[in-house]
């Protein structure tokens, strides 16, 4: 099974070794009273975030990743993903939006008119809604 995939079956490439950081954020409504005592309360379920990066991808791999979120190409900003959740040690469906996507083109043929042959240092974050 893919590490992360959309509910429609599009598999996201496995992230680079040392990548794929999973963060669980607990939302709290505030901080401390006048005596410095904690008075905040949890205001919702924990939110799941996956920080992914890839050392290098072929143009068609990068394009497929970007098109999951590209509304002009039939993608959506918010998608349902099947992700591995370490809290349950199993996969679950999770509705997530994407953060910034970045990549650096390398080995450009015919500079000015060509296309990248590879992309490096690609990054994307998925954040639970």
| 25 contacts 47 by C-beta, under 8 angstroms | yes
Q: How far apart are the first and last CA of the chain?
A: 24
Q: What is the mean pLDDT of residues 120-125?
A: 96
Confidence of residue 13 (pLDDT cuts 50, 70, 90): confident
Summarize pLDDT for 66-79 with one digit per residue, the tens. 999 999 999 999 99
Does residue 103 surpass a pLDDT of 80? yes
Q: What is the pLDDT of residue 122?
A: 96
Contacts of residue 20, Cβ cutoff 8 Å, sequence gap at least 6: 3, 14, 50, 51, 52
Number of domains forming the structure of the chain: 1
Structural domain span for residue 106: 4-128
């Amino acid at each position: 099974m893919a590490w992360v995939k959309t509910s429609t079956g599009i598999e996201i490439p496995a992230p680079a070794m040392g990548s794929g950081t999973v963060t669980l954020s607990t939302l709290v409504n505030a901080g401390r009273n006048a005596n410095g005592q904690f008075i905040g309360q949890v205001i919702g379920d924990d939110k799941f975030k996956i920080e992914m990066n890839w050392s290098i991808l072929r143009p068609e791999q990068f394009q497929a990743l970007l098109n999951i979120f590209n509304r002009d190409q039939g993608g959506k900003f918010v998608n349902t993903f099947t992700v591995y959740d370490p809290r349950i040690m199993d996969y679950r469906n999770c509705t997530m939006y994407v953060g910034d996507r970045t990549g650096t083109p390398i080995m450009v043929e015919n500079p000015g008119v060509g296309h990248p042959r590879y992309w490096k240092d690609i990054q994307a974050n998925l954040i639970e809604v």
